A and B are shown apart, each in its own frame.
Chain A
């Protein structure tokens, strides 16, 4: 397929996906809309992580921490921290906190990108892992700023749009769950398009050059320092926005809401979705949002054989099912869902090519 043709197909597919996302709530129960809003939230974080890991080749085991920064920024701007003895009075409407959440996390990401320049491969992975591990304790340490272990409650505050009552927007009334869904997905789709724009041009080429060979990239005039820090900054900003949305969706933040496991799940998400691809990330996000639930024999998991469901009800059971599914997936689609699509696309186009001959 010619680049032009694939681009047109891409646009059409994206437009179709947007339309699909827009009408979906009409076909599902009110609560499912809330469940799917988490898919949108994880998608944003995965897009950011894939820019860093999939495209620039810098492994981060600490993106949960950037989500925490975004989440806490949003929560503190909304509810304030005066009640714990902090300086911020809060009172900002939830939606407006999101750009700030992205900005704050992005700046921290940029700052982290600087020392990260000196580290590569495993050492960078360890350094990022360290921030994920340190995050809960850091949050608790600055109790007067963050509310410590008890966290910050957002449910029922006037800053949270639609705690229990319907949301009126442009003369249109929707349930709080539908509101959450549209908020998360409209940001996710914009984030998706933005990632595409960033990655298709000069910047994206530079990212990939850094990933494929640092030496070759430098000798072609790509500044390693500039592009590595940039990738960290963009990636962290994405995670920050996702974290802010996560705080709004949960209406609660607490250090344990951003555990080390979250960072690992995000990495699992981009591997399942496919490193260095964007479209597959939707599946990575579904994987993160729903597999823990399915692994308990709930929702889709209820379709599992009864004997397995019985096992999932036992202590530790869900974790075992989760692990088995992950291992199987990596056997079947080692390059993730994006890789699978690429394979299918190649098969189709090579057949067409041979037929044309």
Chain B
């Protein structure tokens, strides 16, 4: 038995005391000072969903571009990003640190369905805005009455899955759909709505294979889905797993019609999955997005996309502009700046939420023309539109016009 020596205690004491003690702000509503407004959120900088870190980075770059022009109402926007490794227990710790120690004005753009579920009670009871949740779970909009301090942003998974279902019902005679889905609320939301979109058509889901976020790969799931005889593969997975799904399906020589969910459908992810053009399964993949596609030549001279590239080049050096997650980040940051502008000189948390529930933003420069961001009485889903697109020869080609979800 080794005894605790006096030295241990001395060292422990030194370490504890040496840790910097936080300074508390002293303004009326936390996080607002005469010169800055502090917001914060978690993002998976490491772990199984680290490819989403670029969402926060895009938002950060946009805020910095606004700050360079003087900020909003004389205040610079300080956006603090904390890593949670896509682990909801770490999200809880990080968000409590942001709220109680850093005293943020609002929790913003926190990524992940489970991550946001884990902090929703806490933020609502503490009356801290949970602004523009980076997850498409339907609950953010549906349960707004119960959780008034929480609001989502992107089209809901329920709307997205329904669109895929309808597409298959209309275009395929007897599609046999095999579904790969993440075994959590996000994956199940998409799966359930896909089924409701298929409705009573001749097409139906014949195999469902879940995977865990913590699992190394989805090889066996793809093998089973192929063996099930499915001729449509629906990928409801985050980017790392989606790429694996394409690669494994190709290696097995499986060529189904592929549906890939929006959260893994950036051109960047698709390019990786195409294995430099060698992947034959990926051609003709269907997905949807509310964002402009950085690779689409239509937007070469588009002012919004020019602005996007300029901001990224200046404030996120080394960032890959083809990764549309940056674009998502900018779109959400753009709306946040809009809210702060409307809040004016004396921002309050309650005021922020009131404005977040009454958005009428028709022309977000980073979203497709015609996609509006709006909320109002009885409408708590900021974006409810998207564009179906088909992966053709190394890039997305849109088809069929914008869809608008009436059901959520």
* 18 intermolecular pairs with C-beta atoms under 8 Å apart: A13-B5, A17-B4, A20-B9, A20-B16, A29-B24, A32-B101, A133-B215, A150-B184, A151-B117, A155-B122, A278-B4, A296-B82, A298-B82, A313-B81, A315-B46, A315-B51, A315-B57, A316-B45
User: How many angstroms between the C-alpha atoms of A314 and B60 in the bound complex?
Assistant: 12
- Tell me whether B220 is interfacial, beta carbon within 8 Å: no
Task: Identify B97's interface contact among A31, A156, A313, CB under 8 A.
Answer: A31
**Residues of chain A within 8 A of B88, CB atoms compared:** 151, 252, 254, 256-257
Query: Is the CB–CB distance between A315 and B53 below 8 Å?
Result: yes
Query: Is the CB–CB distance between B214 and A250 below 8 Å?
Result: no
A325 to chain B, nearest CB (A): 14
User: Known: A9-B5, A30-B100, A338-B2. Contact between A316 and B46, CB under 8 A?
Assistant: yes
Stretch at the interface among A91-99, A121-129, A218-226, A280-288: A280-288
B126 to chain A, nearest CB (A): 6
**Residues of chain B within 8 A of A250, CB atoms compared:** 89, 92-93, 118
| Chain B 3-61 residues near chain A, CB threshold 8 A | 3-9, 11-13, 15-22, 24, 45-47, 50-51, 53-54, 57
User: How many angstroms between the C-alpha atoms of A342 and B215 in the bound complex?
Assistant: 40
Binding site secondary structure of chain A: helix
- Tell me whether A269 is interfacial, beta carbon within 8 Å: no
User: How many angstroms between the C-alpha atoms of A242 and B357 in the bound complex?
Assistant: 41
Task: Identify B12's interface contact among A9, A283, A313, CB under 8 A.
Answer: A283
Task: Identify B8's interface contact among A35, A204, A282, A319, CB under 8 A.
Answer: A282
User: Known: A149-B184, A153-B121. Contact between A29 and B21, CB under 8 A?
Assistant: yes
B343 to chain A, nearest CB (A): 25
Mark interface residues in B148-175 (1 if CB within 8 Å of A CB, else 0).
Answer: 0000000000000000000000000000
Q: Total interface residues on A, using CB and 8 Å?
A: 77
User: How many angstroms between the C-alpha atoms of A337 and B5 in the bound complex?
Assistant: 12
Query: Is the CB–CB distance between A36 and B45 below 8 Å?
Result: no
Identity of the chain A residue whose Cβ is nearest the Cβ of B92 in the assembled complex: A250
- Tell me whether A112 is interfacial, beta carbon within 8 Å: no
User: How many angstroms between the C-alpha atoms of A12 and B3 in the bound complex?
Assistant: 10
Q: Which residues of B contact A (CB under 8 A)?
A: 1-9, 11-13, 15-22, 24, 45-47, 50-51, 53-54, 57, 81-83, 85-90, 92-93, 96-97, 100-101, 114, 117-118, 121-122, 125-126, 183-185, 188, 210, 212-215
User: Known: A13-B3, A137-B212, A164-B125. Contact between A316 and B183, CB under 8 A?
Assistant: no
Identity of the chain B residue whose Cβ is nearest the Cβ of A15 in the assembled complex: B9
- Tell me whether A81 is interfacial, beta carbon within 8 Å: no
A294 to chain B, nearest CB (A): 10
Query: Is the CB–CB distance between A31 and B101 below 8 Å?
Result: yes
| Chain A 235-282 residues near chain B, CB threshold 8 A | 246, 250-252, 254-261, 276-280, 282
